[in-house]
Chain A
Amino acid sequence: DIQLTQSPSFLSAFVGGRVTITCRASQDIGSYLAWYQQKPGKAPRLLVYAASTLPSGVPSRFSGSGSGTDFTLTISSLQPEDFATYYCQQLEKYTFGQGTKLDI
């Protein structure tokens, strides 16, 4: 099974700041990676697909990069609504990373 390891598990930041979350796959998954944002009591929301492509409607302060086994999600100029939990997911066997909670 393909394992995904996210780091860090918890992250504190401030409005206007910049954060980077990493996701490492246990084997090469090419660009078969997505990132999701989840707020308490809500369903996840797709933020990035194919490792680096933003769906329509996702603000440009979000960006994804990487391929193979190492991936990153960067949020620049943090807004109050960005404080949430973020998950990576590999799109071959669909497993998720354990999540990164972004707090103020």
Chain B
Amino acid sequence: QVQLVQSGAEVKKPGASVKVSCKASGYPFTGYYVHWVRQAPGQGLEWMGRINPSGGTTTYSQNFQGRVTMTRDTSTSTVYMELSSLRSEDTAVYYCARLSVAVTLYGMDVWGQGTTVTVSS
């Protein structure tokens, strides 16, 4: 079935980096952007950026420019999101979600299960 499966929870110290993976299955990997959205405890959803698995092009939110890097491995249908210079405010659940390259009007119809990242000294 169509699914996105994310890597497990992470605990990091301030200043470190974290790399979260999102493995796609059940659909053409290059036909859908993969977006990353995070949610701090008790807060709303925040869009971080997206990657086009076809060519690897990325678009990042200005809020994360310079700290986030999204990459992909087409051989394993996996997308990665790396966030650097972590601070306590980056403690959140990080989600990946797909959105059609052809028709962005369709919305984010499949989501990963979420990865909890805790930043603590």
Contact = CB atoms under 8 A, between A and B. Distances in A.
Nearest to B46: A96
Interface in A63-104: 87, 89, 91-99
Interface string A23-47: 0000000011010101000011110
Interface stretch (B71-79, B84-92, B106-114): B106-114
B80 interface: no
A38 B95 CA distance: 13
Contacts of A46: 107-109
Contacts, number: 62
Given A96-B46, A96-B47, A43 B107 contact: no
Q: How big is the B interface, by class?
A: 20 to 34
A16 interface: no
Interface-central residue, B44, B47, B62, B95, by most chain A CB under 10 Å = B44
Nearest to A43: B111
Interface string B8-49: 000000000000000000000000000101000000111100
A94 B44 contact: no
Contacts of B95: 43-44
A38 B105 CA distance: 20
B111 A32 contact: no
Interface of B: 35, 37, 44-47, 50, 61-62, 95, 97, 99, 104-109, 111-114
Interface of A: 1, 31-32, 34, 36, 38, 43-46, 48-50, 55, 87, 89, 91-99
